[in-house]
Structure 1
Amino acid sequence: MAGKPFPYRDYLAPGYWPMWLGFGLLKAATRLPVNWSLAIGDKLGWLIYHLVASRRHVACLNIKQAYPDYTEAQRQQLNLACFRSLGMSIFETAYAWYGTDAKLRKICAVEGLHHVEQARENGRGVIILTGHFTTLDIGGRLSGFYLSDYNGVYKKAHNPLFNAMMTHCRARYGNALIENRDVRKVIKGLKQGNPTWFAPDQDFADQDIVFTPFLGGLATTLTATAKMARLTGASVIPFCPVRLDKTRADGVRYKMVFYPPLENF
């Protein structure tokens, strides 16, 4: 979807300058080879792990609850891997927002796309059910190479400049970008047959949620997925944007995986 010009003049106040610097660095990073950026991100994640003790502690508690049989060494290893993935996601977001199609097409492949195509052939909308993975933004950009006219649902960011830049960049790929509160627009798109990217794994406080068993504990999830599927007759297809451990011989580093539709959902 062709986006509108970015309203730069609305965000020239000095308070926004540090964030502008961050955006500039991210855009500059896209000139590097993808593997170089990921290597830098890996080291950045290592640094965050060692410097931000509060977040490291929270992650450790979650891992301990999810994997009670793990040894302390295994928990620390997984915790560090999560932070390294987080560091890489910063550079992946840069590529998603500012990278060129020519560069990104070379590093991705798709698996299970026929599940989406079959659902669309039946004239039904498709809910692309995903989660807030560290590959969220790069997955949204790369999946746009395989999904025509897909809509994306997003949560508004608190910082005005960050929200404006996020929506401006994300609107460049896909069909429409819909704020999560605009349920009518989401439903309209599904009824029109548009695949719709939706991640219900976060608690939005004022929306209908349920607690469900997840990795040995209870986690909140939105009930909106089931309601929208029932109301529109849309198929629900799980989707996972996978970052491969190493670049394949053909240059692929990411795999967009679409799973079979959920039954009786």
Structure 2
Amino acid sequence: MLGRLGFATLVALLRVFSVLPYGLVARFGSVLGTMLYALPSSRKHIVLVNLRLCFPGKSDAEYEVLARNHFRHVIRSYVERGVQWFGSEKSIRNLVQIESRIDLEEKHAVPTIFLGFHFVSVEVGCILYSTQLPAASLYTRMSNARMCDLAKRQRGRFGAEMVERSTSARKIVGLLRSGIPVMLAADMDHGIQNSVFVPFFGVPACTLTSVSRLARLAGARVVPFVTEVLPDYRGYKLTIFEPFSGFPSESETLDARRMNEFLETQIRKCPEQYYWVHRRFKNRPPGVPGVY
């Protein structure tokens, strides 16, 4: 549990990181990640289990390299929360390239769900969007109240409305119908309620069906986006793709499978940047043994 002194120290460090050169902070995060990977940890175990399930057939050495590179990205992303949470609007704009395949300035656009995925730099993409256009963003409450309040406040500091995931669907639909895009992610295991088991890299994964239901209720299009870390410490790139066609379909299961298939394609481009430290296969189909 992070106490008051520890929390104050963390905030102070993040503020320091926000004013240091980005390249220096990013390199520090990478080195710290390499050092932490050398220590035994439950998260390291989770990463290796996920990689072995999703990318079968690699050698032990290949899994180690991929897992180590992932740890570097994860720890680096925590360090880079400094600029993401406390950096100026100008500094964030300078760090993030944006490529959109839809017209973000379109007037009278249909209600829009921006579907994100848990790549290590997903936050900075959401924050950049909120500096330019109104938006609401769903979040999951953290166990540490201080950290939760800090994250909520800093993620929404440019005007994004932060909406807790457990809120009523009626409020989210109301936002969508009022013309405010809603940013959400549905690629983590939040339990079997309102979820279905569909393949993720060939492994049954408990996948939320809320995107389909919200899109149907609000008459919304679903627009996927991905934020990736650029090489050579050059910042990030936010790519906003075309809306899913024919989505939602008549089957929430088919829709969930389609989301996972799209995500698989994006992960293969930069597998070390996906959030493998999450227990993606925490819940298993009946009769199937646990993996962690």
Matched, 1:197 2:179: no
Equivalents in 1 of 2:107, 2:219: separation in Å? 14
Matched, 1:259 2:229: no
- Give yes or no for contact 2:191–2:206 (8 Å, CA) kept in 1: no
Matched, 1:157 2:142: yes
Q: Percent identity?
A: 28
Corresponding position of 2:156: 171
Select between 176-185 and 35-44 the one with higher mean Cα deviation: 176-185
The alpha carbon displacement at 1:116 in A equals: 4.9
Query: Which letter does structure 1 place at the counterpart of 2:52?
Result: K
Equivalents in 2 of 1:87, 1:15: separation in Å? 21
Query: Which letter does structure 1 place at the counterpart of 2:184?
Result: F
Aligned residues: 245
**RMSD after superposition:** 1.8
Indicate which of 109, 116, 119 corresponds to 1:133.
Answer: 119
Equivalents in 1 of 2:136, 2:4: separation in Å? 29
TM-score of the pair, normalised by structure 2: 0.79
Name stretches of at least 5 consecutive residues in structure 1 with no aligned partner. Answer: 1-13
Cα shift readout 1:163-198 (whole Å, capped 9, x = no counterpart): 111111112124311111112221111111211110
**Which residues of 2 match residues 5-44 of structure 1 at below 5 A?**
15-44=3-32
SS at match of 2:14: helix
* Gap change, CA 1:43 and 1:162, over 3 Å in 2: same
Indicate which of 97, 106, 115 corresponds to 2:102.
Answer: 115
* Gap change, CA 1:149 and 1:224, over 3 Å in 2: same
Query: Which letter does structure 2 place at the counterpart of 1:160?
Result: A
Equivalents in 2 of 1:197, 1:116: separation in Å? 17
TM-score of the pair, normalised by structure 1: 0.87
Cα shift readout 1:18-51 (whole Å, capped 9, x = no counterpart): 1111111111111111111100000111122111
The alpha carbon displacement at 1:62 in A equals: 1.0
Runs of 4+ that moved beyond 6 A: none
